[in-house]
Amino acid sequence: MQKALSLYELNSLVKEVLEISMPEEYWVEAELSEVRENRGHCYMELIEKDEQSHTAVAKASAKCWRNVWSTLSTHFMRVTGQSLHAGMKLLLRVYPQFHEAYGFSWIVSDIDPTFTMGDMARKRQEIIRRLKEEGVFDLNKELSIPMFVKHIAVISSSTAAGYGDFLNQLKDNAYGFAFEPQLFDAVMQGEGVEASIISALNAINAEADRFDVVVIIRGGGATSDLSGFDTLLLAENIANFPLPVITGIGHDRDESILDMVSHTSVKTPTAAAAFLIDRLQRVDEQIDECKRVVVRAVTRKMEAERLRLGRISSNIPMLFSLVRTREEALLDSLHQRIATLAHAYFSANSQHLQTLWLRLLPLAEHRLMHENHRIELLAEKAIALDPSMLLQRGYSMTLHNGKVVKDAAQLHCGDKIKTRLAKGVIESVVE
């Protein structure tokens, strides 16, 4: 029987075979299913899927050590504008490594960012094609932004500097316009962007009649991870949204699909605020112009009416003299009638008021005497209940913490009490 190998010996044999049979490095195309960093090293899970069924046909683990990863990650982000994330297609240069204790993995020595850029471009074009086929690509652009935009639903991270810049720009606008933004907090970078923004959109849609527009903002530059803004599901939600969507997600590279399907796209959060302010300023200027038009029209109308009244007024003196004579006679007649009726009314009611006064006077005096007697009885009763009167009779009051002791069970050993007599106070301690 052949002698058995230990696991370490077997793994060492595999390592030797790999080093001898596969000494070179290889370029390989693969999709990232998982990526994470730990202590400066990058750990990846690679996958290849069947193009028809999208089921996995191959999987492997890969590592990029810290001394290589620090350079590769910076170069990759600078070229692509994104960091590595799940679902990304990569072209990697790798070599095999088998460790006796940790097993097999591919070691990454290089990543070609231009391959990923091409794959990203293909995905973007496919999403754009799908949106146009569905007839929704320009749907949000067909909405009209209200003339007076005041209530703004803002989708952003509450901690983002861009959100603060947006609020400050609106608040400190030179025209004194008052805006009412409401934040719907969302993740604005990484893998959670799509789900988080869609969740915020659903919350806004539930009360869409409260808002005029939606603004999606975040700070950042060309090195920011914008992959979450280039997804079909998010683009469909934006394109079909019932309110105009304005984006200012702060980047310098080509616009994202989110920018393409939104109503209006600007580069930065402050530019989004400036867009709303400038739009309201243009409306204000239109209102001022309308005011001037109205004033000119009214002025012309008033001048025409002044001339017409001038012509009419020339006929008034004669007509007014006749009307005045007739109306003055009528007023004199009415004055006489009113004076006669008023005199008769006051005479009749004066006697009635005198009768009522004579009847009320005795009743009021009787009531006052009754109430005075009752007050005297209450005063005597109050004097009888005065605690000081009880003390004069030889009684005493025991106080603890300023309150009268009514039950000995209220006191405990060591409590200080005061006994109040008719003359003086005795202090004591309960034993």
Digit-coded pLDDT (tens) for 322-333: 777 888 888 888
pLDDT, tens digit (0-9, with 9 covering 90-100), for 376-387: 888 778 776 667
Report the range of poorest mean pLDDT among 35-39, 144-148, 278-282, 305-309: 305-309
pLDDT in tens, 226-268: 667 888 999 999 999 999 999 998 665 557 889 999 999 998 9
Q: In whole angstroms, what is the distance from residue 215 CA to residue 245 CA?
A: 6
Of 132-146, 210-224, 305-319, highest mean pLDDT: 132-146
Domain 7-115 has CATH 3.30.1360.120: no
What's the average model confidence in pLDDT over 36-59?
Answer: 89
Residue 36 phi, psi dihedral angles, 5° rounding: -155, 155
- In this model, does residue 75 exceed pLDDT 70? yes
| 81 phi/psi in degrees, rounded to 5 | 80, 10
Mean pLDDT for all residues in the chain: 86
Is residue 349 over pLDDT 90? no
Beta strands in 22-102 (DSSP E): 26-38, 41-49, 56-64, 89-99
Query: How do residues 109-145 score in pLDDT, each as one tens digit?
Result: 999 988 887 777 788 888 889 999 999 999 999 999 9
Pure H helices in 148-228: 161-171, 193-205
Burial class (CB in 10 A: 0-12, 13-18, 19+), 201: buried
Classify burial at 143, counting beta carbons within 10 Å of its beta carbon; exposed 0-12, middle 13-18, buried 19 or more: middle
Say how many residues make up the chain: 431
For position 221, what pLDDT does the model report?
45
What per-residue confidence (pLDDT) applies to 1?
A: 63
pLDDT for residue 240:
95
C-alpha dist (Å) from residue 398 to 388, 394, 404, 426: 13, 13, 6, 9
Q: Is 255 exposed, middle or buried (0-12, 13-18, 19+ CB in 10 A)?
A: middle
What's residue 224's pLDDT? 43
The whole-angstrom separation of Cα 327 and Cα 318 is 15
75-89, 182-196, 279-293: segment of lowest average pLDDT = 75-89
Structure tokens belonging to residue 407: 């039950």
Averaged pLDDT, 357-369 = 81
Burial (CB count <10 Å: 0-12, 13-18, 19+), residue 144: exposed
Using a pLDDT cut of 90, give the percent of the chain over it.
Answer: 41
The full set of domain ranges for the chain reads 7-115, 135-282, 387-430
Phi, psi of 415 (to 5 degrees): -65, 140
Distance CA 285, CA 277 (A): 12
Fold classification of 135-282 (topology level): Rossmann fold (3.40.50)
pLDDT at 222: 40
Top mean pLDDT of 143-147, 381-385, 386-390, 396-400 is at: 143-147
What is the pLDDT at residue 220? Answer: 58
CA distance 22 to 104: 13
